[in-house]
Structure 1
Amino acid sequence: MEVFKDQLGNILQPERIPPVRIVSLVPSQTELLYDLGLEEQVVGITKFCVHPYHFKAVKTVVGGTKKVHFDRIRELSPDIILCNKEENTREMVAELNRIAPVHVSDIRTIDDTLELVKQYGQLFACRTEASRITGKINNRLRDFRAFIRDKPVLKAAYFIWKDPWMVAGGNTFIDHLLTLNHFRNIYGDRERYPEIELKKIRMEGDPEIVLLSSEPYPFKEEHAFEIGRFTHHAKTVFVDGEMFSWYGSRLARAFDYFRQLRERL
């Protein structure tokens, strides 16, 4: 008998193997399920699950990533619920476990992503599709590493929010991808997503590149201008936040984006 675990080491014992009714509470994992060929098994998603686009019209939306309608999820009679350590709360996961087994992912590196795809391949009996995705990610990662090898390392700050100003710190998937792109995160010595004071940005690292993410905050030109008042010579670039923060099958497309981004700098 196979033993299924999530990325926190929790043992999962769904009543049906493979599970045929899935609720996904993580947008990037919803996209991964679709690319694994599991569209019919997905019965519930969040309002932030925007890929694939048509899911919102055909799947039950059960809330957001931090707050869900537990009764709505219960009515879907899921065999399994998919969560993420960072995007969903511990309290939410505890309550969801009363409804169905919960698989919690914990993603900080590309290796973590590859492991998640492998776990889904095992859990949902789609090993061939999972192997195809991990193979594509590994091939494109190898090509990108060859491309980026001789590019200079640039000091960077990656902004995710305003009021208060917040950035990606260390020990995050975003920080991992910044390093891969030869960006040295000036806030990499801080945990997770710290609040910062703009007036101290030069003293705290004086970035050469300021990256303004498209999500979760929709940065605009006036925000770039405001940040620019406090930087010395930094170039400000608007970037696709999904490419830097969505894991799973999205990574197979991210490396072409990273190459184009670097060529623009």
Structure 2
Amino acid sequence: MSDCIQVTDDLGQEITVPFPPQRIISAVPSTTEFLFDLGLGDRVVSRTRFCRYPEQKIQRLPNIGGPKSLDEEKIAWLKPDLILANEEENDQAQIEALMEKYCVYVSKIRNVEDAYNNIVKTGKITGCEAKAREMVKTIQADFAVIPKRAKKMKALYLIWKDPYMCVSRDTFVNSMLEVCGFENCITDGDARYPVVTAETIKGLNPELILLSSEPFPFAEKHKKEFQQIVPGAKIELVDGEMFAWYESHLLQAGGYFTALIKKIH
């Protein structure tokens, strides 16, 4: 019989986790990838509709729906002893309902330090703390050698079209912009993902406009419209996973950011 450990998640709730958990549900695509990278693939009992990695291994798992529309009947059938969720990626009401029936650990990630802490804490509650800490050391080492200019480039990071939406400073993506040596043009306001107009973008006058591949799939054809708004800006398509996935995907991010910065400069 498993022992149990008491932990506090990022929402401040005290939960009792069977240790080590044997039937884990991840309600977030990046977390699913992370669990496999920790070597816990045999304990992951489901995938979400948007889980992508590891491609060959997740196909065998039952689909429990999207992160914001989880299938609670399937979850009940799977009998998880731990559900890993995120306060931004998942629907609050649904997660609160699941908390009444299951052990649910909720993360809250706003910056790179939060991400490091989350990697270690998740590793700890799943019995893989040493491997998780090694991941963090590797990511930190990769980030430490990313080339940066002395003068930061003013950047605008777009995530949606019709209407245009971008990221503010209270986001994990903003933290990744800082890792790259960029300065977010969006400096104030309560909205974490504010809607902006073409006139607003023109007024911000960014030196660099980054068009993310997710959640809206910006493509080469979209670059022209932004070039017309800010003729002097550099426009780049970027891999949204590298900027927004906050767990083991960061192992790939250092090399990606280095190549992106060299291309821009």
Q: TM-score, normalised by structure 1?
A: 0.94
RMSD: 1.4
User: C-alpha separation between the residues in 1 aligned to 2:58 and 2:233?
Assistant: 39
| Partners of 1:30 and 1:162 in 2: CA distance | 28
Mapping of residues 106-185 of structure 1, within 5 Å: 106-144=108-146, 147-148=147-148, 150-185=149-184
Shift of residue 56 of structure 1? 3.6
Q: Secondary structure at the match of 2:145?
A: helix
Residue of 2, 7, 12 corresponding to 2:10: 7
For 1:213, the equivalent position in structure 2 comes to: 212
Report the AA paired with residue 67 of structure 1. Answer: S
Question: Whole-Å Cα distance in 1 between the matches of residues 144 and 179 of structure 2?
Answer: 11
Q: Distance in 2 between matches of 1:67 and 1:157?
A: 30
Cα shift at 1:102: 0.8
| 8 A Cα contact 2:5 2:19, kept in partner | no
**Partner Cα separation in structure 2 for residue 138 and residue 182 of structure 1:** 15
Choose from 40, 53, 56 the match for 2:55.
Answer: 53
Please list the CA deviations of residues 201-238 of structure 1 after superposition, one character each: whole Å capped at 9, or x if unmatched: 121x1011110001111112332212222113111100
Cα distance in 2 for partners of 1:225, 1:169 equals 24
Give the match's secondary structure for 2:19. coil
Query: How many percent identity over aligned positions?
Result: 37
Is 1:263 aligned to residue 262 of structure 2?
A: yes
Look up the match of 1:193: 193
Structure 2, gaps ≥5 residues long: none
Aligned length: 260
Equivalent residue number for residue 105 of structure 1: 107
Q: Deviations over 1:86-118 (max 9, x none)?
A: 111210111111331111111111111111111
In structure 1, stretches of 5+ residues that fail to align are none
- Tell me the distance in 2 between the aligned counterparts of 1:56 and 1:123: 22
Contact persistence 2:153–2:208 (CA under 8 A) = yes
- Give 1:151 deviation, angstroms: 4.3
Which string of whole-angstrom CA distances, capped at 9 and with x for unpartnered residues, describes residues 118-150 of structure 1?
111211111221122112112212222xx32x4
How do 1:229-244 and structure 2 match up within 5 A? Answer: 229-244=228-243
Could you tell me whether the CA contact under 8 Å between 1:175 and 1:188 is conserved in 2?
Answer: no
Native 8 Å contact 2:111 2:174 kept in 1: no
CA distance in 1, matches of 2:263, 2:152: 15
- Contact 2:213 2:237 (C-alpha < 8 Å) held by counterparts: yes
Q: TM-score, normalised by structure 2?
A: 0.94
Greater than 4 Å deviation, 4+ residue runs: none
